[in-house]
Amino acid sequence: MGRDVRELRGAWTRYQRHARHEPAPELAPWVERYWEAHWDYAEPYHQKIVPYPNVHLSFGDGHAAVNGVVSGFQVRVLEGTDHVFGVAVRPGCFRPFLGAPVSSITDRVVPVTEVFGAAPARADRDTVEEFLLARLPEADPRTAEAAGAVGLIAANPALTRVETLAGELGVSVRGLQRLFADYVGIGPKWVIRRYRLHEVTERMAAGGEIDWAALASDLGYADQGHFIRDFKSMFGEPPTWYAERY
């Protein structure tokens, strides 16, 4: 079966519009960004979504949901004309809202009402922001620890091992794993792998030839085969296949 040409070489921009917005300063310790997606498809389109370690709140016509961290790629069918407004929570910062380990909602979608006791009246930025500002949790110093650990991973391309991260933070590997389960929702090994694979898509977007064997070595993989398996498990297709999207 051939590929949908609407997913190749940036063709999706003809059918979708995306926007990002900064949160109010009072929400910035918890919220990384707001996002919006609008689409118009005469024929159903299978949208691939590749995860990051963020919990998302999503709002659209008839739905308001908390989307836990997802451990692998997802495919959602977009059809007709529609939109969704979302909140990307900073990695490690949803625990005070949830009142339970964030790993308890990993790979799950739960109604916003189940977590917050209510839902915004409308799916727009002002309404959602007002809703969240009225429900700010008490400060929890462990959120800063978890967010800082994820930030260190994101900022340091040379960081490829959990043991190295634990040493940088001055904690045991087991203690780091407990922190991530409680506050991030997924393990540090997964987060490290996700951010290193992000660097692969950055190179794809930049264009030019990629030396896959050298890149696998740069990312800490023992061999190219292991790198390809990791990429495929996260993105649902091999890197050379995924690169055609750019």
pLDDT score of 62: 82
**Do 126 and 220 fall into the same domain?**
no
Q: Rounded CA gap, 53 and 230, in Å?
A: 16
Alpha helix locations (H) across 74-223? 95-98, 112-116, 125-133, 141-155, 162-169, 173-179, 188-206, 212-218
The number of folded domains in the chain is 2
Tokens 């709002």 locate to: 59
**Do 127 and 153 fall into the same domain?**
no
The last residue of a domain, from among 133, 151, 176: 133
The last residue of a domain, from among 133, 155, 189: 133
**213: domain CATH number?**
1.10.10.60
**Do 128 and 36 fall into the same domain?**
yes
**Residues spanned by the domain of 205:** 141-243
**Do 155 and 218 fall into the same domain?**
yes
Strand pairing category for 74-89 and 109-111: unpaired
Per-residue pLDDT of the chain (246 residues; tens, 9 = 90+): 578 999 998 898 999 999 999 999 999 999 999 999 999 999 999 999 999 999 999 999 789 999 999 999 999 999 999 999 999 999 999 999 999 999 999 999 999 999 999 999 999 999 999 999 999 999 999 999 999 999 999 999 999 999 999 999 999 999 999 999 999 999 999 999 999 999 999 999 888 889 999 999 988 898 999 999 999 999 999 999 999 988
**Do 127 and 23 fall into the same domain?**
yes
**Do 15 and 116 fall into the same domain?**
yes
**Do 116 and 146 fall into the same domain?**
no
Sequence-separated (6 or more) residues with CB below 8 Å from residue 229: none
